Chains A and B, each alone.
Chain A
Amino acid sequence: MKQKLLAAAAALGLAVSVTAGQAADTVKIGLMAPLTGSWASEGQGMKKIVELLAEQQNAKGGVSGKKIEVVTEDDGGDPRTASLAAQRLTTQGVAAVVGTYGSSVTEASQTIYDEAGIPQIANGSTAIRLTEKGFKRFFRTAPRDDEQGRMAAQTIGKLGFKKVAILHDSTSYAKGLADESNALLKKKGTEVVFFDALTPGERDYTTILTKLKGANPDVVLFTGYFPEAGLLLRQKKDMNWKVPFIGGDATNNADLVKIAGQEAAEGYYFLSPPQPQDLDTADAKNFLTDYQKKYNELPPSIWAVLAGDGFRVMVAGIAGAKSTDGDKIAGYLHKDLKNFSGLSGPISFDAKGDREGEVYRVYKVDGAGKFVLQKL
């Protein structure tokens, strides 16, 4: 019995005896990303990009004369794990944190960073309320759902569609976007003939497509993620149904075309912040060449790129504030950082920590499976 207790005590000791970070001549930047779980592909993309950018920055001498060290923690794509990851980062002496992807995951970590005085910059979290709570050191490179909703409604109007079907996937993000778009479309007098949610993670969506087809829309707005979008396009083609699809920014992923097949993906519209490929800035071009050199592929998703932007913004903040103090960095980002040359277009922040200006663009998939920026 005693031995068992000792073993238990030892396990306890082990479980919590992790090395605390020591202040040294490095500047630590935390990256909180879903390295495991359903969104592991996003998280690992984020890690690749941030590591590459840190290498480059260190090759240029780091920030304020110190080398940058990236401390990565897995948030598992779930709020509870995220709150632990956040606690862990706060104990490791990071000056700033980049991440994370899901809105509710970010939300679970917000108060922890806030109470620790560490600035946080989320890359994939688009839920409106994240920046409505008055956290002074919270930023995001991702645009907000309401902005995307506005863009979606506007685009549908410009393309001249009269009857819209809206499909989401019940996730916080997709539902939010669907609701925003639904309200705006109705206000403009566009008829919404269908509004429902699919179950993400499945393979067969013909049931839903059959039902959608029965509603006979001019266009389908799908606000979910790329794996489902790809399957919808593929199975839609199998049904010989030729209705156009518009998607949200979560479908901006190179794998979309792979999943759907080039033929089925052709003509698919989606909204997204601009990709580095579509920017003429030197920063974007250099980044792309280096990324391809190092990993032999294109950046897997725009969200990973936005994490990269988050990292670059934080480095600029630390350099600009000449300090690793959270309030000073935040102050600099709010006031002094204007039109920073991001990998997803120019970046400035408003008082809430949201990006200023129109971030969204409209893309269309061409016959070769390329994402082509549209001018509407």
Chain B
Amino acid sequence: MKAAEPTVEREQRSLLTLGEVTKSFGGLTAVDKVSFAVEAGSVVGLIGPNGAGKTTVFNLITGHYQPNHGDIRFAGQRLNGLPTHRIIMLGIARTFQNIRLFQQLSALENALAGCHYRMRGGILAGMFGFLPYQRRAEQEAVERSVGELEFVGLNQKVATVAKNLSYGDQRRLEIARALTTQPRLLILDEPAGGMNEQETEALIGLIEQIRARGITILLIEHDMRLVMRACEKLVVLEHGGKIAEGSPEQVRNDPRVIEAYLGTEDEV
């Protein structure tokens, strides 16, 4: 790992920066002084053995948890203390490790959720009428949602109820929903979890395409093949602390990483 650049400089180029972020639950420190940056336009992987605190880091970024110490900044704005939906509105979208779709609703409706915050109209608008602008907004929302569903490859499943989708399709639907929020940063929590080889292959292509749209990606993944191919930078966590950071090549050869991974295997 190279010597740390001056923070200010790094922030200027980075979309997301974590500075010495710490989170503990009761006595257990789940995330310990973790710092890293995600540069705009890149694909960054967050890896590490189970229980290393990866998902907790995601939850800290998206405001599901609040850090005990440290700073989280997105595009120059401090995220600490903001509720989740505000963070989403700033341009961060995410998927969940255990798929969290609106199970009883159709794929289209799921995708529409992401459009919600950009639309207007509350109770009165709902009850008393569709003014032309509202009708237009609705139509645009549906179009965008259908567009994203097509983008992730769910064109045939627009009207299917989420719970009836296959596992891989559900993962893709989550991505589509995240994309409809028009994020600048997309956070994917084990997007290949439960996917077969073909689906994973397609996912790698999808990640490329998303990136090609100028969306920055931060992902957690156990599938090393995907990580090595899709990411240009990796951050490695173990026991809540960061043990390595760098390109896939650098990380692969980092002795501490090898120890962390092999070490755990030894214990098993």
The reply to whether A and B meet directly (CB within 8 Å) is no
